[in-house]
Structure 1
Amino acid sequence: MPNNGHQLNPMVSQLQIDTTFDLSTYLKEQKALVEKALDNSITIIYPEKIYEAMRYSLLAGGKRLRPILCLATCELVGGNIEMAMPTACALEMIHTMSLIHDDLPAMDDDDYRRGKLTNHKVYGEDIAILAGDGLLAYAFEFVAAQTKNVLPQKVLEVIAKLGKAVGAAGLVGGQVVDLDSEGLAEVSEETLSFIHTHKTGALLEASVLCGAILASASQDSLDRLSCYAQNIGLAFQIVDDILDITATTEELGKTAGKDIAAQKATYPSIWGLEKSRSQAQILVQNAKAELEVFGEKAMPLTSLADYIVSRTN
């Protein structure tokens, strides 16, 4: 029977629809799940002021990249959203704590975050510090108390991973070196790498690995996902440095040009904009190469890597 082409086209079209991954839809759906879980995670009780301050920053929006990475990796290695959601929420609580404290006058002294007044501008510096402390402590409580259908040993591994990522061996250590480096005439590429792999990269890597740990991923999978995360973590920070120069305050939702004003070392200040952009692209390609063994199941993580370098805020 001759083929006139018309009978096959609907099938081809349907196949293309089924195999094409739509990142914008995926992000919208995952973000909605995360937002609902975060909203339900903290109830306002006495003393109301502290819970209101915690919720103010936690529910202020944002990309929710860290919890989405956690959910994506858990599903990639055979887990599900339900087992990963408490850890996903905890990651956003920890990230929010870091933003509240980062914006304080003693740190970056910023008035806006995610297009809204920063926590200390609304509640005062004292309550902002305590709101950050409250979120950090609650993050660990939330993982321990709310994680279901996961081996206890894996929950302990996640708690240890989160603790290291946020402490002196991770985010806190990176922030210390970042503060020490402000205003210096010259900061080495090695020091800048230390700052960013600890201040930004450690929590991003924990986001990826915690989801996989919860689903009892193999060591080979964990190694590959660790390399993926380290690459996207550094790419993320390079793009942040670029956007601080090229984007407006309205686009960023926070004050643009803060790095230059504070005389901070950044990748564009060392490499220039074009090399910074190309390096970020190389890192993303390296990250995606680590996922090839997973096949099409890794499309969410692959697409998220591309999103990191194409984002505008």
Structure 2
Amino acid sequence: MSFPQPIELNWFDETRAGFEDILCEKLKQRKGPSTVLNEAIEYALLDGGKRLRAMLVFSAGHAVGTPVGELSDAACAIEAMHAYSLVHDDLPCMDNDVLRRGKPTCHVKFGEAFALLAGDALQTTAFQWLAESGQGSVQVRMQQIAALAGASGVQGMAAGQAIDLAHVGKPMDLSALENMHARKTGDLIKASVRMGYVSNPDILNVEKEGLEAYAHCLGLAYQVIDDILDVESTSEVLGKTSGKDALNNKPTMVSLMGLGEAKALLTRLREQALSACDAIAPQRRAPLESLVELITNRKS
């Protein structure tokens, strides 16, 4: 898999198309004996999705000189983990949503039991793909596994979801809300960047610090725009139920800061993320900069 040249905003579509073929093939090789479970997994992972986390893996790897083709397994793993989180997040016992990516959620389509199993299988498949990968040294793969596990578990996504569930209808200050979002959304975005840059054991400290700052800003920016879109957009455009946060009386950046301040924060985070790219050599930072634009200007 080669990186599109020249690297401009359209690099995303070209790289994503190549990645999608790889992801489909890897999943085809992992089919189990249950037809329904296989279908539920494919439905959750393959049919839709912006692949932003995979693109972050590729972009961070490119930033430290790693060819995109050496990062496809890590990118597949992060997307499998993300798909698992969405399937479980939509379940009736969690956010109880019926629409995802413009179609019925996995549990609506296949039932709660098979949706639960599909999420379980996607999570374990993510680690299996990394463990069995022939891309990178054993040390690199161990760091990628650690990054993914840390972002997904009791201190990462699971913790963020637990905090979220515990505060439905309850007050939360801005600091606590940012902490929740950092775990629920930001940690997997940070893991995407880390899984890319650890591919080069000789990464400079200044590059690592810049990429960590970049990931932090993007993680929070992703959630800020999510909260803005939940207020301003429609279910048809979003591909998921809009206005659900207000309906469920959940604290958001908009409800705590106001729409204007939330947009101002998004602008600051965008500028900070772009500034963080200065730590990367000019000829290698364009993909990172493109993703800042794509994420902070997204409509769904």
Q: 1:220 Cα shift?
A: 2.8
Offset from partner CA, 1:56-99 (integer Å, 9 cap, x none): 11012111000001011111111011211101010000000000
Does 2:124 align with 1:137? Answer: yes
Residue 224 of structure 1 corresponds to 210
Query: Among 171, 180, 187, which residue is 2:172 paired with?
Result: 187
Q: Which moved more, 1:288-297 or 1:102-111?
A: 288-297
Distance 1:246 1:147, change over 3 A: farther
Checking the alignment, whether the CA contact within 8 Å between 1:102 and 1:108 is kept in structure 2 is yes
Residue 201 of structure 1 corresponds to 186
For 1:153, the aligned partner's letter is Q
Q: 1:296 Cα shift?
A: 3.6
Residues 21-36 of structure 1 correspond to what in structure 2 (within 5 A)?
21-23=7-9, 25-36=10-21
What is the aligned length? 292
Does 2:65 align with 1:78? Answer: yes
Q: 1:147 Cα shift?
A: 3.5
Residue 198 of structure 2 corresponds to 213
Q: 1:241 Cα shift?
A: 0.2
Residue 89 of structure 2 corresponds to 102
Mapped partners of 2:49, 2:225: distance in 1: 16
Query: Among 148, 154, 163, which residue is 1:168 paired with?
Result: 154
Checking the alignment, whether the CA contact within 8 Å between 2:210 and 2:279 is kept in structure 1 is no
Offset from partner CA, 1:126-164 (integer Å, 9 cap, x none): 11001000000010000111242x121111011011000
For 1:244, the aligned partner's letter is D
Mapped partners of 1:274, 1:80: distance in 2: 41
Checking the alignment, whether the CA contact within 8 Å between 2:207 and 2:279 is kept in structure 1 is no
Checking the alignment, whether the CA contact within 8 Å between 1:60 and 1:116 is kept in structure 2 is no
Residue 47 of structure 1 corresponds to 34
Does 2:221 align with 1:235? Answer: yes
Mapped partners of 2:200, 2:12: distance in 1: 21
Which of the pair has more CA radius of gyration? Answer: 1
Residue 138 of structure 2 corresponds to 152
Residue 122 of structure 1 corresponds to 109
For 1:209, the aligned partner's letter is R
Q: Which moved more, 1:287-296 or 1:174-183?
A: 287-296
Checking the alignment, whether the CA contact within 8 Å between 2:37 and 2:117 is kept in structure 1 is yes
Checking the alignment, whether the CA contact within 8 Å between 2:84 and 2:118 is kept in structure 1 is yes
Q: 1:172 Cα shift?
A: 0.4
Query: Among 266, 275, 283, which residue is 2:261 paired with?
Result: 275
For 1:236, the aligned partner's letter is Y
For 2:23, the aligned partner's letter is L
Higher relative contact order (CA 8 A, sep 6+): 2
Offset from partner CA, 1:5-43 (integer Å, 9 cap, x none): xxxxxxxxxxxxx97x531x2111111022111111112
For 2:229, the aligned partner's letter is L
For 1:252, the aligned partner's letter is L
Does 2:51 align with 1:64? Answer: yes
Match of 1:34, SS?
helix
Mapped partners of 1:139, 1:87: distance in 2: 8
Checking the alignment, whether the CA contact within 8 Å between 1:42 and 1:51 is kept in structure 2 is no
Mapped partners of 2:116, 2:200: distance in 1: 34
Structure 1, unaligned runs of 5 or more: 1-17
Q: 1:228 Cα shift?
A: 0.5
Q: Which moved more, 1:36-45 or 1:93-102?
A: 36-45
Mapped partners of 1:201, 1:34: distance in 2: 23
Query: Among 236, 259, 264, which residue is 2:245 paired with?
Result: 259
Mapped partners of 2:271, 2:175: distance in 1: 22
Structure 1 runs (4+) deviating above 3 angstroms are none
Task: Please report the RMSD computed on the Cα atoms of aligned residues, expressed in angstroms.
Answer: 1.3
Mapped partners of 1:101, 1:147: distance in 2: 30
> Which TM-score applies when normalising by structure 1?
0.91
Does 2:75 align with 1:88? Answer: yes
Checking the alignment, whether the CA contact within 8 Å between 1:53 and 1:123 is kept in structure 2 is yes
For 1:174, the aligned partner's letter is G
> Which TM-score applies when normalising by structure 2?
0.94
